[in-house]
Amino acid sequence: MTTARYPSVEGRPLVLGHRGASDEAPENTLAAFRRALDRGADGFELDVWRCGSGEAVVVHDADLARTGQSPARVRETPLPLLRELDVGRWKGEAFHGERIPTLDEVLEEFPGAVVNVEMKSGRLPDPGLAVEVARTIRQRRAEARVAVSSFSASLLGAFRAIAPDVATGYLVAPGALATARAAAVLRALRPEAIHPALELATDERVEDWRREGLAVLVWTVDDPAAVERLARLGVTGVVSNRPGVAREAVRRATGY
């Protein structure tokens, strides 16, 4: 039986930076996570793969073509080689020298932050990633402030089986069958939360999800009016590229 409780704050939704404050800083870097907290966020969302040497590394894409100007594929490349890549310069010279962090380093560097860890899967989910993420969270004693999510039901199920004390959320992207598929996964896995795209988070659906006892973390919400609407509906949190803007919108909507 699960003992997990989804992270939350009193009186208002959580505000999490999407890959950090990714409107201002290079996504999924320590600089972006630091910037999100400086802007008033409660924490941040990040993405993890297991690299070629087995560590859970924080990067969104399956390769480094976009953020590291390298064809290196994350799952095939050992950590020392990934460390050689500059993943900050593409965002501006001010971020020259930013490196890919490990999940362990992020949890150590920001001990007070709420962290949503998205496990990436690709076409073939890596069950070893679930094991490594669970191990890292336990090692850092971060169970109460971390939620783990994925679009992959099999990967999320693997994680829940080995870490029932860590909250989980099923990610749902827009699509014709999205909500029907999500309902089936929610029945099968019984995660603590649903993480819907903003397009899916209608007033009626949010109310239904909350009535079912689910925490609701909505992504990616950059429009202040949308943040205010969701805050008034009582969502558990919003994920935003502009966490400072989102935090102000939450304050206007809730008084907190």
Q: How many residues are given for the chain?
A: 256
How far apart, in whole angstroms, are the C-alpha atoms of residue 90 and residue 99?
Answer: 12
How far apart, in whole angstroms, are the C-alpha atoms of residue 188 and residue 241?
Answer: 31
195 is catalytic: no
- Of 60, 73, 99, 135, the catalytic one is 60
**Looking at the whole model, is its pTM more than 0.85?**
yes
Where exactly are the structural domains of the chain? 14-254
DSSP bridge pairs for 149: 118, 169
pLDDT attached to residue 1? 47
Q: Which helix (H) or strand (E) is 119 found in, with range? A: strand 114-119
Here the tokens at position 83 are 């460390």
- Of 18, 39, 120, 195, the catalytic one is 18
Number of CB atoms found within 10 A of residue 218's CB? 25
96 is catalytic: no
Do the Cβ atoms of 149 and 170 come closer than 8 Å?
Answer: yes
Class of the domain covering 14-254: alpha beta
CA torsion, points 159, 163, 164, 168, in degrees to nearest 10?
-50
Here the tokens at position 111 are 């001990």
> What residue ranges of the chain have pLDDT lower than 70?
1-2
pLDDT tens readout for residues 194-242: 999 999 999 999 999 999 999 999 999 999 999 999 999 999 999 999 9
pLDDT attached to residue 3? 72
**Phi–psi pair at 207, nearest 5 degrees:** -65, -40
